[in-house]
Amino acid sequence: MRNSYKTTCCYCGVGCGIIVHKDRDGQLQVEGDPSHPVNKGMLCSKGMNLHYTVIEKGDRLLYPEMRYHKNLPRKRVTWDAALERTAAVFSSIIKRYGPEAVAFYASGQCLTEEYYVVNKLIKGFIGSNNIDTNSRLCMSSAVAAYKMALGEDCVPGTYEDIELTDCIFVAGANPAWCHPILWRRVEAAKASNPRLKIIVSDPRVTPSCSIADLHLQINPGTDITLHHAIGRALITEGYIDPSFIMDHTNGFDAYREKVMQVSIDEAAVQCGIPAAAIYEAAKLIGKAKGFMSFWTMGLNQSSVGVHKNLSLINLHLITGKIGVPGSGPFSLTGQPNAMGGREVGGLANLLPAHRVLSNPAHRQEMQEFWNSGPISEKPGLTATAMFDALHDGRLKAIWIMCTNPLVSLPDARFAEAALAKAPYVVVQEISRKPETIKYADVVLPAAAWTEKEGTMTNAERRITWLPKINDAPGEALPDATIICRFAQKMGFEGFDYPDAASIYAEHCRSTIGTNINIGELNYDLIKEQRSVQWPYVHGESKKRLFEDHQFYTPDKKAQIHSFDADNRSESLSPDFPFILTTGRIRDQWHTMSKTGKVNKLKQHIPEAFLEIHPEDARRLGVSTGDVVIVSNPRGKVQVKAQVSNTIKKGVVFLPMHWGHIGRSDLHRANNLTSTLLDPISLQPDYKYAAVSVARY
Ligand code: SF4
């Protein structure tokens, strides 16, 4: 006898449907949901082992813990004691230093309801906008670019376009490993449609290249040069759509002038690829009836991330390949609910339902909706700025929920030093393993994936409901419950929700009249339909946006932006001559709080490594398996070398997942990464750091 529950995978933004079976002893098993439109029963290695991540194996946090002084050990306390003291500390800091002296740092893995209440708490009631999430590190360049080009933070297409397209350009992404089930759909589409051509641009030969018709192995940081050159070739070879450009866009003349300034031959030299390959890419895109582009961190995590995004979106706008079946720009979301977080305004510069903080009317609307105090017009601290502010003393208290910045932030040793200086640290977590726990004055045990109810939105705007399937261990509570209880201890009204459904209902009401309108939606409707895509109006999901070619800009036209192909990343030098790029491996997830406890997932790649080109390795006297030291002024990493011609000469790669192993932090890639930010999105430049490499 067992019960079965339909839910959603809580790893990547593909958003696969899962059936969880619970037997009479409470043991969980998972399988892919054949009825789910995203994965049709398939799961990747991470999804197939998801049930192991919620099992308590000595790693789960079971009770609130607290200390009254930094020199004292934390002790188990009641929920009331932990939240009352934290409310007292927050109130006293706010009274003395103002509301900007406290901050919340959350996660794209939070459920929408959790995001909603913490955003409401700080913006509406505490009176500061100091909430940011690890989505800043992941998707914020795409968010800014979508708004600048299309007038709204929205992925225009749907996964069904994969089966309808005949050209997919994967730019700076390795979906074969990082979005595996989406890639299975691409492989299946290519197998059944030989006309489907795949272009991949990446300095590395990744598993995604195995089905590519064209791999553009560009130099790191040259994506804009490449996209501009493809744009130039599309123009000169007659592949653009003049009537779409004239009727539905602004900015083409300036764009044409800009891309004509660099010849294809010159661009090819800068990118480190043959000119013929650029013409070939333009031909594949130009001749295709449908053209999709997929991208992730290769474009987003850059000091020019927004321009990289815009330069790719431009290729859709000049060819008119957007808002039609099989076409459209499609950012692949790294986290399961980064989209849901943006929908409720869970970033330092946003308000719910994609309202913007800088708009006084939007602030007024939300203040009235929440019946709250005035919402500050000053943007809050973003992810990296929070740690700068801890370091220099402006920020007195930080509440970290559902993320481990001491592995994931760039220049992680600086982040660690900043957290060590923080007067008051709250860590809300499922696991006692993250490095943040060591610095916590208060530890709050949170419920995990199957232990709470809520919703998530995947990369194609698809909202699904996740049921509570089993009880959390010990006294762990759902994240939204913890935040609401804390808000009540602070004396704020409007947080006495009877259940998660009522939080969601309030969020849905806040979207009425906005572009993401889901005002009609509720849990019952989502459960009945299994999933819906926003906007959801008159009982219907909108699969594909802009089919009427009316964009969300004031004049309804998309904006083609023009800019130089600058690379603002740090410079190489004789002392630091290699470009370090970082990324994920197939079977690990972010900072390994969950995948790190599943033995099966350790078998694929058990430890961190440095991928290095054979010619560079030969020069350094390094062979595969030798220990190498990778260093720069921010720190060092010590791992085994993996010599491979899958990476460009002069470039080295480290996986981003590992943090401390015992007392050593020498496997942590982010000891080395750069804190340079994109000036618009404030997203860090993880993909380009100057380093030296030497044999140990
Ligand atoms: Fe989960 Fe992503 Fe794998 Fe699907 S592809 S099972 S959402 S990790």
Q: Render pLDDT for 417-436 as a digit per residue (tens, 0 to 9).
A: 999 999 999 999 999 999 99
> Does 47 sit in the ligand 1 pocket, CB within 6 Å?
yes
Q: Where residue 54 falls among pLDDT bands split at 50, 70, 90?
A: confident
Of 332, 364, 396, the position where a domain reaches its end is 332
- pLDDT, tens only, 432-462: 999 999 999 999 999 999 999 999 999 999 9
Instruction: Tell whether 303 and 402 lie within a shared domain.
Output: no
- Give CA–CA dist 120/98, Å, rounded: 18
Residue 136 alpha carbon to ligand 1 centre in Å = 21
Residue 344 lies in a domain: yes
Confidence at residue 57, expressed as pLDDT on a 0 to 100 scale: 82
Q: Are residues 343 and 356 in the same domain?
A: yes
pLDDT digits (tens, 9 = 90+) for 601-648: 999 999 999 999 999 999 999 999 999 999 999 999 999 999 999 999
The residues, ordered by sequence, that sit 6+ positions from 384 with a Cβ below 8 Å of its Cβ are: 136, 409, 410, 675, 677, 682, 684
Q: Are residues 432 and 286 in the same domain?
A: no
Asked if residue 518 belongs to a domain, the reply is yes
Which ligand 1 atom is nearest residue 182's CA?
A: 5
Number of domains in the chain: 4
Asked whether residue 464 is assigned to any structural domain, the reply reads yes
Instruction: Quote ipTM for the complex.
Output: 1.00
**What residue owns the CA closest to ligand 1's atom 3?**
44
**Closest residue by CA, ligand 1 atom 4:** 16
**pLDDT at position 1 over 80:** no
Packed helices 479-489 and 79-97: angle between N→C axes, nearest 10 degrees: 60
The domain that holds 31 is classified in CATH as 3.30.200.210
Domain C-terminal end among 332, 356, 388: 332
Has residue 554 been placed in a domain?
Answer: no
* CATH number of the domain that residue 289 is part of: 3.40.228.10
The reply to whether ligand 1 has any atom less than 6 angstroms from the CB of 16 is yes
Give tens-digit pLDDT for 127-185.
999 999 999 999 999 999 999 999 999 999 999 999 999 999 999 999 999 999 999 99
CB 97 within 8 A of CB 397: no
Which residue intervals of 163-239 are DSSP H helices?
Answer: 175-178, 180-192, 223-236
Task: State the distance from the centre of ligand 1 to the C-alpha of 159, rounded, in angstroms.
Answer: 14
For residue 534, tell me if it sits in a domain: yes
Q: What is the pLDDT of residues 587-597, one digit of tens each?
A: 999 999 889 88
What is the span of the domain harbouring residue 268?
140-332
Closest Cα to residue 590, out of 7, 119, 8, 10? Answer: 10
695: three-class secondary structure by DSSP: strand
Task: Note the pLDDT of residue 671.
Answer: 98
> Is position 361 within any domain?
yes
Give 216's DSSP letter. Answer: E
Q: Are residues 415 and 295 in the same domain?
A: no
- Both tokens of residue 6? 């339909």
Q: From the centroid of its chain, how far is CA 677?
A: 16
Measured by CA distance, the residue closest to atom 6 of ligand 1 is 47
Query: Is the domain of 293 the same as that of 147?
Result: yes
User: Minimal CA–CA distance to 27: which of 63, 56, 6?
Assistant: 56
Residue 110, in any domain of the structure: yes
Kindly state if the Cβ of 43 falls inside 6 Å of ligand 1. Answer: yes
We report the CATH number of the domain holding residue 368 as 3.40.50.740
Does ligand 1 lie within 6 Å of residue 18's CB atom? no
Instruction: Give Cα separations from 251 to 234, 339, 560 (angstroms).
Output: 16, 28, 5
* Predicted pLDDT of residue 56: 82
Tell me the two tokens of residue 205. 């030969």
Q: Are residues 93 and 144 in the same domain?
A: no
What are 513-538's pLDDT values in tens digits? Answer: 999 999 999 999 999 999 999 999 99
* Low-confidence winner among 324-333, 334-343, 409-418, 609-618 (lowest mean pLDDT): 334-343
Please check whether residues 441 and 292 belong to one and the same domain: no
Per-residue pLDDT of 242-263, as tens digits, reads 999 999 999 999 999 999 999 9
If one compares 26 and 112, the residue with the highest pLDDT of the two is: 112
Q: Is the CB of 11 under 6 A from ligand 1?
A: yes
Q: What's the pLDDT at 611? A: 98
Indicate the residue among 541, 569, 595 that finishes a domain. 541
Examine residue 483 and state whether it is found in any structural domain, yes or no: yes
Q: Ligand 1 centre and the CA of 45: distance in Å?
A: 8
- The rounded distance, in Å, linking the Cα atoms of 144 and 134 is 16
The pLDDT tens digits for 90-108 are 999 999 999 999 999 999 9
**Average pLDDT, rounded, for the chain:** 96
469 in ligand 1 pocket by Cβ < 6 Å? no
**pLDDT > 90? residue 45:** yes
Q: Determine the distance separating the centroid of ligand 1 and the alpha carbon of 37, expressed in angstroms.
A: 13
Domain identity same for 368 and 494: yes
Q: pLDDT, tens digit, for every residue of 268-282?
A: 999 999 999 999 999
Residues 684 and 621 in one domain: yes
Relative to the CA of 11, which ligand 1 atom is closest?
8
* CATH code for the domain in which residue 648 is found: 2.40.40.20
* Residue ID of nearest Cα to ligand 1 atom 2: 12
Region at 204 (left for phi over 0; alpha for psi -120 to 50; beta for the rest)? beta
Distance 404 CA to ligand 1 centre (A): 20
CA gap 562, 253 in Å, rounded: 9
Any atom of ligand 1 within 6 Å of the Cβ of 44: yes
What is the Å distance from ligand 1's center to 247 Cα? 39
Same domain as 71, residue 28: no
Q: Are residues 320 and 184 in the same domain?
A: yes
In contact, 684 and 137? CB cutoff 8 Å = yes
Report the alpha-carbon distance of residue 154 to residue 339 in Å, rounded.
9
% the chain with pLDDT above 70: 100
pLDDT per residue as tens digits for the range 500-516: 999 999 999 999 999 99
118 and 154 share a domain?
Answer: no
